[in-house]
Structure 1
Amino acid sequence: MNIVIVGYGMAGSRLAAELHARGADHKVTVLGSEPHRAYNRIMLSTLLAGKIDEPDMELAEVAGQGVDVRTGIGVVGVDRTAREVRTDDGDRIRYDHLVLATGSRAVVPPLAGIDPADLPPRVVAFRTLDDCRRILAVARDARSVLVLGGGLLGLEAARGLAARGLDVTVVHPMGHLMERQLDPAAGAVLAGTLEELGVRTELAVAASGVDVDADEIRLRLTDGRTLAADLLVLSCGVRPETGLAAAAGLTVERGVVVDDRLRSSDPDISAIGDCAQHDGAVTGLVAPAWAQARVVAQVLTGEDPTARYRPRPPVTRLKAAGIDLAAMGDPTTGPGEELTFADPARGTYARLRIHQERLTGAILLGDNPSVGAVVQLFDRGGPVPVDRRALLLGRALGTTAAPAGSPALMPDATTVCQCNDVPKRALVACWRAGARTVDDVVAATRAGTGCGGCRDAVAGIVAWLSEADSVAVPR
């Protein structure tokens, strides 16, 4: 079978790896429009902060292992009758099954003074590695930065640039930050935390235009004010990249409409990742994209023809230097009991909603040792402990779940890595099989290769295993 994957981002590269790992009789061709090896897009803000280098972002390479990877190649058309894709260098590649992993593109808002198709050098839409390079090139000689957009990616970019010593201001049109995930109280605490970290916020005001000259960017606001800076970073959301699918006549709404097997309206074409719309939703998160890649690989290789994609409730994490945030479900509305705790002076906020002994939503901001347990309860739908305040305040939870520093008490089924769905038992099994370092365990299990938020937990489990008597480690 000839399988062609269009897109070499986090979804496309994972599918190539999943297909290669199953070793079935198929030929895989991957076409990536970016001229780079596959990289972890989630780590772009860490690169902005100067905490890692570009090689640290690279994902496992499968080129030359039965997979033909072609980077810097765009696909300009799909001929469904001939089962061919056309590339921008004039090639035609036949497929038996085509997988669209075209991702999403940054939204550039309509602002007077700039052309979205030709942004000035000091105005950058933050989405790709090349965008990150452009930001860093300007930031080397810059003193001040404006970030337009106070969502997850915008705040990560702002924190990363502030970590470089730049004067950063976030402009956001809504009344509080990350309004899709946070309530106003949490947004206010987050804004205070950012202020202490060197990031100012301008809320409830929109941008109307941009004036650009050789030395300065001036952002005009709808309240009549003008903010000046050396660099303007646009982080105003993303839009699924569906142009290729639409031109091919596939059913497209917000994304490429797919069923539980990730098949589009053409059964010979699948879609995964940011460009896919399953059950009316597009996610934009890495964990669903990787889960979708696994299902497609299982179906195409025959490993499990009955495999179906069953989305799990999304968990949003913002984990930057000085910020630890987890948000899930909807803690603001619905039936059940609600618990809230706020300590703005310490940058701490927690809100939980519990219905029929199950956690239906939560916001945890600041240093809360129970965040892993809360995520686990939400993800698995397990019963909450009798002492709800333990979850709210981060106190020890007995045997229900363990604090981060007590892996011995953590149930084997606890999901340590949400992005890759890696439970504690898989890490223990890997250690028993001979892995003795964090890097070895990460390479074998993929834990920590997504958002990186679980890396400390993985290291803690490896340290516990290394120090414990092998007899004492449950088998």
Structure 2
Amino acid sequence: MNDSNPNAPLVIIGTGLAGYNLAREFRKLDSETPLLLITADDGRSYSKPMLSTGFAMNKDADALGMTVAGPMAIQLNAEIRTHTRVTRLDPANRRVWIGNEPVPYRDLVIAWGAQTIQVPVDGGAQDAVFPINDLLDYGRFREAAHGKRRVLILGAGLIGCEFANDLLQGGYEVDLVAPCEQLMPSLLPPEPAAAVRRGLESLGARFHLGPVLERLERNGDVLQAQLSDGQRLECDLVVSAVGLRPRIELAEAAGLKVNRGIEVDRLLQTSTEHVYALGDCAEVDGLNLLYVMPLMSGVRALARTLVGQPTPVTYGPMPITVKTPVCPLVVSPPAAGSHGSWNVEGEGNNLKATFRGPDGKLLGYALTGTAVQERLALNKQLPPVLAELPQVLSLKSS
């Protein structure tokens, strides 16, 4: 507790899945401690994974949003400050700054997520490139897409493929451009990647793998995209889905340890006492996992830690369900640096790919089509991503 200011609130920066779910779990355990959530957007509660399903379901941003900030504040017995940016962290004095206003905290949770990687594009039409990382982004893109038909997607990873499936089902023509040899190269072996590609191509997707977008110009109402291999494509809009980068700048400026994300121990505490990080911005024991399952595991553990019950986060098997309904896909990639090999069984787009170590133990899998039905049985064979600890370890004691 903050002995110098016992009435200081628990402050959560961010009202995405991490921030709001932590607030809910915390309130189940503590109904009295003052709670303040600060967000740079409008504070609507929504599920970020639903952003890549909106066109197929014909839902605009308002339809994807679940609850606005006012009712959320009542539900959580909290103050929610919307359209508000934290400009500086001040852990030495246990406060954050909003411009010239200091805001004290009992404990601080950084849950501000990740930001889209910006692709530099020559040609004067950069404003036609849309990242879709939150509900406001989705709203802007959907408004721009009204009455248009041709969308160029930069990136053929998980997010690019999900948006391709959604836009194709929503009636759009889709081209995907990415400097890789296959879809989702960091997640999939070649055969399941080819199955997903065939599925998307059956809806009309056109893939341009290998080159990058070099130039984007306007020619009247049409955009002309020039690729690095000399191809020219016409489109109406561009979606940037080249990846996400954890937001670390303010944390680094405040002296917190950072790597790819904000470094935290298994209690999700940063290198400074009373400061925690959760979700896409956090690097937990060397792992930065930008998915819902690890986020929710962190939410449940951190809520207990914040009420005085230190609870190390654990991750069991963490399979990823990719929203490409034209070719269903569930993948649990082997840990980085794992030794072993892939074995692929099945026919057509119904493939079971398993990655086993030299001892024959299952370390990962990728399932497509009807083979996704085997995921539960395979999950029982997988090792945990982060096993339970015999004792609580922290950055400060290591």
- Tell me the secondary structure at the aligned position of residue 367 of structure 1: helix
2:60 maps to 1:58: no
**Aligned pair in 2 of structure 1 residues 96, 197: CA closer, same or farther (>3 Å)?**
same
Contact 1:4 1:99 in 2 (8 A): yes
Q: CA deviation at 1:100?
A: 0.5
Q: CA deviation at 1:59?
A: 6.4
CA-based RMSD: 2.4
Letter paired with 2:362: L
What are the within-5 Å matches in structure 2 for residues 323-402 of structure 1?
323-330=327-334, 339-344=343-348, 347-355=349-357, 356=359, 358-368=361-371, 370-379=373-382
Contact 1:331 1:351 in 2 (8 A): no
Q: Specify which of 123, 133, 136 is matched with residue 113 of structure 1.
A: 123
Contact 2:363 2:383 in 1 (8 A): no
2:115 maps to 1:96: no
Q: Give the corresponding residue for 2:221.
A: 215
Q: Specify which of 6, 9, 18 is matched with residue 2 of structure 1.
A: 9
Letter paired with 1:348: N
TM-score, structure 2 length as denominator? 0.86
Instruction: Please give the per-residue CA displacement for 1:314-340, whole angstroms capped at 9, x wherever unaligned.
Output: 322213332210111339996678542
**Aligned pair in 2 of structure 1 residues 112, 342: CA closer, same or farther (>3 Å)?**
farther
Q: Specify which of 45, 50, 60 is matched with residue 52 of structure 2.
A: 45
Q: Give the corresponding residue for 1:170.
A: 176
Q: Specify which of 253, 261, 267 is matched with residue 255 of structure 1.
A: 261
**Aligned pair in 2 of structure 1 residues 315, 152: CA closer, same or farther (>3 Å)?**
same
TM-score, structure 1 length as denominator? 0.73
Q: 1: CA distance between counterparts of 2:59 and 2:362?
A: 36
Q: Name which of structure 1's ranges 191-200 and 320-329 shifts more when overlaid on structure 2.
A: 320-329
Q: Give the corresponding residue for 1:418.
A: none
Q: 2: CA distance between counterparts of 1:152 and 1:138?
A: 23
Contact 1:13 1:38 in 2 (8 A): yes
Contact 2:364 2:382 in 1 (8 A): no
Q: 2: CA distance between counterparts of 1:104 and 1:3?
A: 22
2:317 maps to 1:310: no
Instruction: Please give the per-residue CA displacement for 1:419-459, whole angstroms capped at 9, x wherever unaligned.
Output: xxxxxxxxxxxxxxxxxxxxxxxxxxxxxxxxxxxxxxxxx
Contact 2:9 2:107 in 1 (8 A): yes
Q: 1: CA distance between counterparts of 2:135 and 2:187?
A: 26
Q: 2: CA distance between counterparts of 1:214 and 1:59?
A: 40
Q: Give the corresponding residue for 2:159.
A: 153
Q: Give the corresponding residue for 2:389.
A: none
What are the within-5 Å matches in structure 2 for residues 227-266 of structure 1?
227-266=233-272
Letter paired with 1:80: P
2:87 maps to 1:76: yes
Q: Specify which of 17, 39, 44 is matched with residue 24 of structure 2.
A: 17
Q: Give the corresponding residue for 1:283.
A: 289
**Aligned pair in 2 of structure 1 residues 301, 364: CA closer, same or farther (>3 Å)?**
same
**Aligned pair in 2 of structure 1 residues 100, 175: CA closer, same or farther (>3 Å)?**
same
2:210 maps to 1:200: no
- Tell me the secondary structure at the aligned position of residue 225 of structure 2: strand
Q: 1: CA distance between counterparts of 2:280 and 2:186?
A: 18
Q: 2: CA distance between counterparts of 1:282 and 1:289?
A: 10
Q: 1: CA distance between counterparts of 2:40 and 2:382?
A: 35
- Tell me the secondary structure at the aligned position of residue 151 of structure 2: strand
Q: 1: CA distance between counterparts of 2:64 and 2:237?
A: 26
Contact 1:43 1:57 in 2 (8 A): no
Total equivalences in the alignment: 372
- Tell me the secondary structure at the aligned position of residue 19 of structure 2: helix
Instruction: Please give the per-residue CA displacement for 1:385-413, whole angstroms capped at 9, x wherever unaligned.
Output: xxxxxxxxxxxxxxxxxxxxxxxxxxxxx
Q: Name which of structure 1's ranges 356-365 and 236-245 shifts more when overlaid on structure 2.
A: 356-365
**Aligned pair in 2 of structure 1 residues 83, 158: CA closer, same or farther (>3 Å)?**
same
**Aligned pair in 2 of structure 1 residues 108, 374: CA closer, same or farther (>3 Å)?**
farther
Q: CA deviation at 1:206?
A: 1.8
2:159 maps to 1:132: no
**Aligned pair in 2 of structure 1 residues 279, 333: CA closer, same or farther (>3 Å)?**
closer
Contact 2:35 2:79 in 1 (8 A): yes
Q: 2: CA distance between counterparts of 1:378 and 1:46?
A: 31
**Aligned pair in 2 of structure 1 residues 55, 379: CA closer, same or farther (>3 Å)?**
farther
Unaligned runs of 5+ in 2: 1-7, 385-398
Unaligned runs of 5+ in 1: 382-475
What are the within-5 Å matches in structure 2 for residues 29-40 of structure 1?
29-40=36-47
Greater RCO structure (CA 8 Å; 6+ sep): 2
**Aligned pair in 2 of structure 1 residues 214, 11: CA closer, same or farther (>3 Å)?**
farther
- Tell me the secondary structure at the aligned position of residue 63 of structure 1: helix
- Tell me the secondary structure at the aligned position of residue 371 of structure 2: coil
Letter paired with 2:23: A
Instruction: Please give the per-residue CA displacement for 1:144-192, whole angstroms capped at 9, x wherever unaligned.
Output: 1110100111111111111121111111110000001111222222111
Q: 2: CA distance between counterparts of 1:289 and 1:334?
A: 23
- Tell me the secondary structure at the aligned position of residue 351 of structure 2: strand
Instruction: Please give the per-residue CA displacement for 1:4-58, whole angstroms capped at 9, x wherever unaligned.
Output: 0011111111111111111254111000111131211100011132344534442
- Tell me the secondary structure at the aligned position of residue 53 of structure 2: helix
Letter paired with 1:308: P
